[in-house]
Amino acid sequence: MARPSRFGDKAFEWLTLAMALTVVVLVVLIGWQLWRGSTLAIQKFGFHFLTTSTWDPVAEQFGALPFIYGTLVSSLIALLIAVPLGIATAAYLTELAPLWIRQPLVSLIEMLAAIPSVILGLWGIFVMIPWLRDYPFPFLKRFFGWIPLFSGPIYGPCMFAGGIIIAIMILPIITSVSREILRSVPDLQREAAYALGATRWEATRIAVLSYAKKGLFGAVILGLGRALGETMAVTMVIGNTPQIAASLFKPGYTLASVIANEFTEATTDMYLQALFEVGLVLFGTTILVNLLAQLLLRTIAVKSATRAVQ
Amino acid sequence: MQFERAHNHTWRKIKSGLACGIAFVSAVLVISPLGLVFFYLLVNGAGSVNWDFFTKLPAPVGAVGGGMANAIVGTLELLAFAGVIGIPTGVLGGVYLAEYGSARINSFLRFLADVLNGIPSITWGVVVYGLVVLRFKGFSAYAGGLALGLIMIPLILRTTEEVILLVPNGYREAALALGVSRWKTIVHIVMKTASKGIITGILLALARVGGETAPLLFTAFGNRFWNHSLSQPIAALPLQIFTYAISPYDDWHRQAWAGALVLVTGVFCVNVTVRILTRGRTASVV
């Protein structure tokens, strides 16, 4: 019998390899394209780009500090809201909830994740902001107005609103990754706690949550990565003013939203270059944050797997 | 002493109940935006979703009525073009990770794919702008489709890999033992067995990029009229919603709500379809 030709096998393997290697090509391509698009700006402004806060397209002076500040503050607000809620929900879904309610809740959270950003932004402009402006914001101002964070006039679109909308955007990912991590905690942990007479909450706190601490941290960092890059919904509610203000009721601006808003208006080369550099900063930051998250999550998965075997 | 211990136990029980209550409230808070968004989409959008909405071009400023026919068709065109780029690349790349390659190379590629899935979608817009729009001197449907297609690659690659790994090895061994060549085994046995899962991944990726706005802002750019050539700017539903939402006109706001309702309905339909598909999957082998 004739040996079958190996050509088909080799060709198919090489074809699939080439396709798999596109991920490498894409990472390199993004980095190279952003770098190439911003060389002039990098040469002209150097490190000052990150530390100055003048954003004046007419005078061709560009400093990205207000955007970096806005991105960090809005992401921080988002994490402060989303982390406790997300982890508590994850604990509810894996440890505390009645069994019949778990799957429907998970499906609903997946549906929330599927809502496009622009639709959440639309809802943010016409529903969330008017509500925030009329009820919670005046309340905060009345009782906590002496803290600079909650002082000053209330406009509507502001840093706080941006943070809240980002929180809504990242809640599904924080919740579902945390849930996966809590699920991977070996049942022996729970059984040991219950055997010692722990209540449901005590078992969750001592045996599950503290065991999964590092993985939960990974979930939070993954959420941070998404928060930093969230674009449309934030652009629609944050107010888009390049300023650094103490009050969260003042409008802000983020790295992603300045690109979204000004890219098509960039009339001069240097303006476009500066926006490419903003993109480069955003790309660099999110890649670092994502690397960290992946590393944290990976060591956890490996570790819990080996422990389960033992 | 006895009393104290009993008291302590009650207190611990109460604390446990409280914690459960707080966790329940958190869960309700997490899903409440879903209900609120859907409620307001129906209230504000349902009235403007009519025959005109699906068949007419956007009305000029001031004129009442009009629709988003061009944006709906535009989104479908962009998705088709994105699919041509993203689906074969992602699926075959996933096949490589699941079937070939050493553990080391694969974990590196997997890692890069996860990192790519985490970068902001607007970055893709900037990159494609530099790659296509600057080079060919103009916004185009090609550029928009390319941006969406590139986003799909790592998404589909990961889901394909996962479902192919679920195919039992016995299937491969049986085919190989019969003298079927390896690539035919993969295409006709392995991929066929995993086809439901692969299609699920593709549909989810399409639903995800179909709602993307940021990568289209300066690639597809948007268009108030019909697109007659793929090298011209093209309208897309999410873009049109964005433009209308930030405009100062009440009539446009109504259109934006209607567009959002249509878009969300589309995305949810795909998600429900996927859920039905995967329900069948758990019943069968893969």
Residues of A in contact with B119 (CB under 8 A): 30, 229, 283, 286-287, 290
Mean pLDDT of A166-194: 94
pLDDT for res A307? 37
Distance, in angstroms, between A296 CA and closest chain B CA?
Answer: 12
For every residue of A97-149, DSSP letters joined together read S-HHHHHHHHHHHHHHHHS-HHHHHHHIIIIIHHHHHHTHHHHHHHHHTTSGG
Mean pLDDT of A161-182: 95
- The answer to whether A230 contacts chain B (CB < 8 Å) is yes
Q: Choosing among B28, B117, B126, which should be mutated to test the A contact, i.e. which has the most A CBs within 10 A?
A: B126
Give residue-wise pLDDT tens across range A196-243.
999 999 999 999 999 999 999 999 999 999 999 999 999 999 999 999
Q: What percent of chain A has pLDDT over 70?
A: 95
pLDDT for res B284? 38
Mean pLDDT of A231-259: 94
Give residue-wise pLDDT tens across range A98-133.
999 999 999 999 999 999 999 999 999 999 999 999
pLDDT over 50 at A305, yes or no: no
- Domains of chain A (ranges; CATH) run 61-309 (1.10.3720.10)
Alpha helical stretches, state H, B129-194:
141-165, 169-177, 182-184, 191-193
Are the C-beta atoms of A77 and A163 separated by less than 8 Å?
Answer: yes
pTM equals 0.93
**What letters, b where the CB count within 10 A reaches 16 and e where it falls short, cover B10-37?**
eeeeeebeebbebbbebbeebbebbeeb
Give the integer Cα–Cα distance in Å for A48 and A290. 26
Q: Do B214 and A117 touch (CB under 8 A)?
A: yes
Distance, in angstroms, between A195 CA and closest chain B CA?
Answer: 15
Residues of B in contact with A9 (CB under 8 A): 181-183
Distances (CA, A) of B96 to A17, A173, B115, B160, B193: 6, 27, 18, 10, 16
pLDDT for res A260? 95
ipTM of this complex: 0.92
Distance, in angstroms, between B112 CA and closest chain A CA?
Answer: 6
Structural class in CATH, domain B52-283: mainly alpha
Split at pLDDT 50, 70, 90, the class of A155 is confident
- The answer to whether A86 contacts chain B (CB < 8 Å) is yes
pLDDT for res A308? 35
Give the integer Cα–Cα distance in Å for B207 and A280. 28
Split at pLDDT 50, 70, 90, the class of B6 is low
In degrees, rounded to 5, the angle at the alpha carbon of residue B131 between the alpha carbons of residues B83 and B122 is 65
- The answer to whether A218 contacts chain B (CB < 8 Å) is no
Residues of A in contact with B23 (CB under 8 A): 88-89, 91-92, 96-97
Enumerate residues 6+ apart whose C-beta is below 8 A from B278: B196, B197, B200
Q: Choosing among B31, B133, B157, B270, which should be mutated to test the A contact, i.e. which has the most A CBs within 10 A?
A: B31
Q: Do B30 and A12 touch (CB under 8 A)?
A: no
Task: Report domain extents, chain B.
Answer: 2-48, 52-283
> What integer best gives the mean pLDDT of chain A?
91
